[in-house]
Amino acid sequence: MGHGAQDRDTPSVTARGNRGEAIREIRYCRHPETPGLDTRITRQQFDALGHPVHSIDPRLATRQQTDPSVKANLILHPAFTGAVIASQSVDAGHVLTLNDSAGRPLLRLGATGVTRRWHYEAAPQAGRLLQVAEQLPAAPPQITERLVWAANDPAAKARNLAGQLSRHYDTAGRQLIDSLGLTGATLSATRQLLEDGDSADWQGADEAAWAGLLAPDVFTSSCTVDATGVPLTQVDAQGHAQRQRYDIAGQMAGTLLTPKGMSEQPILTSLSYSAAGQKLREAHANGVVTHFTYEPRTQRLLRLKTEHSTKATVLQDLHYAFDPVGNVLRVSNAAEARRFARNRVIEAVSTYTYDTLYQLITATGREMAGSARHNPQRPADLPVAADDGSYANYTRRYTYDRGGNLLSTVHTSDVAEHDFTLNMTVSSHSNRAVPDTLTADPVLVDGFFDAAGNQLQLQPGQTLAWTAREQLLRVTPVSRDAVGLDDQESYRYGGDGLRIVKASSQEAKAATHHRRVLYLPGLEIRTLHQDDVPKEALQVVTIGQAGRAQVRMLHWDSGLPDGIANDGLRYSYDNLIGSGCLELDDKGLVISQEEYYPYGGTAVWSARSEVEADYKTVRYSGKERDATGLYYYGYRYYQPMGRWLSADPAGTIDGLNLYAMVKNNPTTLSDSAGLQATKEQYTREYYALKESSFMINETRDQVLDFLNDKSSSIAFGTAYTIFVELLAAAYGSLAAIPAGIAGGVAGPPGAVIASTVVSTLVKDKVKGKLTAYPPAPKANMAERMEHNLFTTKERATHKAKHYFEPEYLLKKAGDKGANWLMNTGLTAAGAATSSYSVPFAGIIDTVRAAINAKKITKEAVVDAALEDIEKIEAMIEALNVSLEEAFAQSIALQKNELGTWTKARGNLSNKRVEWGLKRDGMNLSKGDIWLKYSNHVKHYAITKKHLGDFKFALHEFTYFRNRQAAA
C-alpha cells in the first residue's frame, strides 16, 4: 500500500442543519492491513421543534436500500415538551411511556408487554410516589413497590426523617431508613428480604400484612459522616467496623478495620498525591507499596509498580505506552521473568493495534498453553512458579461489521492445536447477535432474544429467564431430563436495580449443592448447603476505601477449609482498567495471579493452592464472575466475547449499538456499571487542540461584530443572553420535577435536595450547549483552553467549588426570594402561581453587563484580544510539542514491534517515512498511528491559521482606526 493512501485524512465530520442539529455524522474507517477507506454515515432526523425522531447506523442504512423491512435503529415520538412518549428500537424493542401533567412517570408499556403504573399522593399533599404496580400479559397486576413516608412528628424529626422516605417495600423485601444526617446521608438502614422463591406483591393497605411476608432475618447497617456528608465510619450488618482517615485537603489518607470482637487494624496506611491530585504512592498494612508514575503533560499513567516496602521483591511492575489519542499500545510487566519454550521467547508483554475508529483489531500476549480454547471457566490451577513450558504466545484478531458488532475472534498460538475461531451471527435487522453454535442464519438470530432484546440462550441447552423489569432472573447451565435436577443460578434485585441475592444449585455425586450469596453494604454473606445440611457459612467483609487494592476479609462462622486461616485478608491489585491481576495475603505473599484476554476470559492463572484460589471473586474489570461464566457489572451481565447479554438500559448513551462492549476498545476504556464506557484514559490534549479552532472562530466573530457595530452587538448580546437564561430556567424547572420524585424514592438526599441539584445542573448544561454571546466580547480563549485540559475530577471539583462560593449562593438565594415574592403577589391577585423559576439574578447581571459594555472602548477590546491570542498561541505551541513527542514515541514503539523500517531524521511533521520489509519478505502494514498523526497535523494547522486570521483582522482594524484619527 502506498504511503499516501495510508496517511489519507480520516476526520470525524458532523453535518448540521440550519438549526444546529446534527443530521449526519460521518466517520472514515480504515484497517491497517487493507487499503480501502470505508465511509460510514449515521443519519438522524429531527422534528419541527428540534427533537430527535429518527436515527440509523451505516449498516442498517445500507441494508434498508435493498430490504424495506429493515427499520431504523431508533425511532422516537416526542411530546411537545420533548419528553419521549414512544420509542421503537431494533435492539431494545418498542416502549410506550406516559407522564402526568406534572411531568411525572405515570404509565409504561414495555416491549415484553409488561405494564407498569406509578401512583402518587393526591393534592393538596406533596405528590410523592406511593406505589408501583406491574402487570404481565394475561396476569393480574402486582404491587411491586410501596413507599411509606415519615410523618412530621417529634420522633421523625429527632431522626431527621420528617417528610422523608422511611420504609420502602421493593422487589427484594423491605428497606427501613432508620435515620438521616443533616446532609441527607443515610446513617442507619435495615434490610429484610422476602423468602427465597417468593415474588413481591404488596397488596392491600395493611402494612402488618406486608411485614408478614418477610423472612425473619434482619440486617442493619450504619455509618457516620462529617459535616459535608463524607463517610467516616461504617458498621456492617454483622458488626464489623471500618474507619476512614482524610488529610487536610479532604483526600483519603488511610483506612482501618475492626472485625467484630477484635481490635482495630490498619488496611491502607498512607497515600501521597501530586499537585494535580494524582496518587503517587500508596502503602498497605501487608507491607506492600504501590508507586504511580505519570506522563508530565498528559497525566497518563505510565508505570504502576507494586513491591514490598523493603524493596526486596517487586511483585508487579506494569509499564504502559499510549498513542497520542490515549489508546493503550503496549503493556509490559517487568516483574515477570522472560521464559523460553518451543524455541520461542515468552514475555509478559501485550501489544494492541486499532483501526481508525479506535476499535481493537489485534492483540498479542501470553497465555497458558492449555487454555486457548474459548471457555467461560478459568483454566486449571498452576503453581505460582510454573515451568516455562506451561506458557505460550498468542495473537487474537478481531473483525467488526459496519454497525460495530464483533463478528469474529481468530486465536492463534504457539501451540497450533489450540488455535480456534469464534464467529458471531448478527441479526439482519438489528444488532442482536449470538455465537454461530446457536445459529448461522442471521434471519433466525432475533428468535434467540425476547422483544426487549434480552438474550434467551447462552449456548445450546443453556437457557436464560428474565424478570418483568428486564433483569436476569435465572440461568440454567445444565438441563437434565429428570424434573428438578437442572443446574441453576438465580438472582434477586432491590428497588435500585442492583443485585442483592445470588442462589445456585448443582447436582454432583448424588447430592445437590446449594450456594447462596447475600450482598449488603460492606458485607457478603455466603453459605453452602449439601442437600439440607449446612456445610459452610462465610462472611466476606469488603473494604470500601482501600486505595488501588480491593481488600476483603474472610471470616468463617463454620466450615473453615483446610489450609486457610480464618479472618485472613486478601488484597487484590488491579491494572489500568480495574482487572484484579495480583492477589496478596496480609503478609504480602502471593495468593494468585491472573492475566486476561482483552475482551475478558482468563489467559494466565496461577495460585499457591487450589483451595485459596476458589475464593477469588474479583476478576476481569474488577467484577465478579458467576459460575455461568458471566461477569456481573451492576445493571447488566457481560459475556466475555465482546457483547452484553441485554440492550443498554441507558439507551443510546454509548451509540446506536446497544450491545457493543466499551465501543470495541476494551484495552483503553472500561465500564463501571454496565451503562457507559469511561473515557478518562483518553488524552485531553488531542481534543483540546481539535476543539480550539471552533472556540477561536466564535471569539473572533463576537469581537469583530463589536468592533464593526458596537450598539447592535450589545443589543443582540443582551437579548440573546436573557433568552438563554429564561430557556435554561424553564428546562431546569422541568428537570426538577422528576428529580424530586427520584430523590424522594431514594430517601437521601431527599426530594428537595435532588430537585435543586438536578435543576441547577440542567440549567448549566443548557447554557453550555448554547453558544455564549455576551453583550461585550470576552477575550478568555486561554482560560477556556485551560478548562478543556482539566481532568474529569478537576472539572467536578472546580464546579463544586463554584456552587459553594458566597457570591453564587447569594445569587441563588436572591432568585429564590424573588420568585417567592412573585408567587405571593400572584396568589394575592387571584392568579395561578408559576411553577417555573425566573432567573432574576442572571437577567440583572446581563443588564449590568450591557451597561458596562457601553463603557468599554473598541481599543480596549482589541488590546485584550491580542493579549489573549498571545497566551493561547503559547499554549497551542506547548500542546503541539507534547503531541509531537508522544507521536514520536509511538512510532518508535511500532518500529520495535511491527518490523524493520527507517525514517528520515528531523522534525516528524516535515519528513516522509519510508517503510521497509519484514523479515519474512511480506510488506509491513503500517498501523493507523499515521492516520491519527495526520489528524493532529491538520488540527494544529487549522488552529494556527484561524489565530493568524484573527490577529490580522485586529491589526487591520487598528491600522484603519489610526488612519481615520490622523485624518
**What pLDDT digit, counting tens, does each position of 659-685 carry?**
999 999 999 999 989 988 875 434 455
552-588, pLDDT tens digit by residue? 999 999 999 998 999 999 999 999 999 999 999 999 9
**pLDDT at residue 489, rounded to an integer:** 95
The set of cell numbers assigned to 822 is: 412573585
Instruction: Yes or no: say if 778 and 797 are a contact pair by the CB < 8 Å rule.
Output: no
Distances (CA, A) of 639 to 372, 500, 608, 629: 17, 20, 28, 7
Q: What is the mean pLDDT of residues 164-171?
A: 96
SS3 576: coil
Instruction: Yes or no: say if 119 and 129 are a contact pair by the CB < 8 Å rule.
Output: yes
Residue 750 has pLDDT above 80, yes or no: no
Q: What is the mean pLDDT of residues 374-400?
A: 70
Q: What is the mean pLDDT of residues 9-30?
A: 86
What HEC string does 722-763 produce?
HHHHHHHHHHHHHHHHHHHHHHHHHCCCCHHHHHHHHHHHHH
Q: Where are the alpha helices (DSSP H) in 418-571?
A: none
Instruction: Yes or no: say if 575 and 558 are a contact pair by the CB < 8 Å rule.
Output: no
Residue 617 has pLDDT above 80, yes or no: yes
Block residue for cell numbers 443446574: 487
What HEC string does 179-219 produce?
EECCCCCEEEEEEEEECCCCCCCCCCCCHHHHHCCECCCCE
Phi, psi angles (nearest 5°) of residue 505: -140, 135
**pLDDT at residue 36, rounded to an integer:** 82
What's the number of CA atoms in the CB half-sphere (13 Å) around residue 451? Answer: 11
Phi, psi angles (nearest 5°) of residue 821: -65, -40
Q: What is the mean pLDDT of residues 804-821?
A: 50
> How many percent of the chain have pLDDT more than 90?
54
Residue 957 banded pLDDT, cuts 50, 70, 90: confident
Q: CB burial class (10 A; 0-12, 13-18, 19+) of residue 605?
A: buried
Residue 29 has pLDDT above 80, yes or no: yes
The set of cell numbers assigned to 241 is: 467496623
What's the number of CA atoms in the CB half-sphere (13 Å) around residue 283? Answer: 12
Residue 103 has pLDDT above 70, yes or no: yes
Residue 831 banded pLDDT, cuts 50, 70, 90: low
Distance CA 540, CA 68 (A): 55
* Nearest one of 804, 930, 764, 782 to 866, comparing CA atoms: 782
Q: What is the mean pLDDT of residues 520-527?
A: 97
Instruction: Report how far apart the first and last C-alpha atoms of the chain are (Å, whole number).
Output: 63
Choice between 486 and 308, residue whose per-residue pLDDT is larger? 308
Residue 956 has pLDDT above 70, yes or no: yes
**pLDDT at residue 808, rounded to an integer:** 45
Distance CA 537, CA 549 (A): 25
Distance CA 918, CA 462 (A): 46
Q: What is the mean pLDDT of residues 267-285?
A: 92
Q: What is the mean pLDDT of the chain?
A: 81
Distance CA 674, CA 326 (A): 22
Say whether the peptide bond before residue 11 is cis (omega within 30 degrees of 0). Answer: no
Residue 843 has pLDDT above 70, yes or no: no
Choice between 688 and 934, residue whose per-residue pLDDT is larger? 688
Q: What is the mean pLDDT of residues 835-855?
A: 58
Instruction: Measure CA 313 to chain center.
Output: 35
Contacts 24+ apart (CB under 8 A), 735-738: 735/759, 735/761, 735/762, 736/762, 737/102, 737/103, 737/104, 738/103, 738/104, 738/105
884-919, pLDDT tens digit by residue? 655 555 444 433 333 332 223 233 333 222 222 222
C-alpha Rg value of the chain to the nearest Å: 30
The set of cell numbers assigned to 609 is: 493452592
Distance CA 494, CA 926 (A): 51
Q: What is the mean pLDDT of residues 634-650?
A: 95
Distance CA 904, CA 8 (A): 20
Strand partners, 422: 409
Determine which of 234-238, 256-260, 842-846 has the lowest per-residue pLDDT on average. 842-846
* Spatial CB neighbours of 4, under 8 Å, sequence gap ≥ 6: none
The set of cell numbers assigned to 894 is: 511500532
**pLDDT at residue 310, rounded to an integer:** 83
Distance CA 226, CA 588 (A): 33
Residue 344 has pLDDT above 50, yes or no: yes
Instruction: Measure CA 929 to chain center.
Output: 26
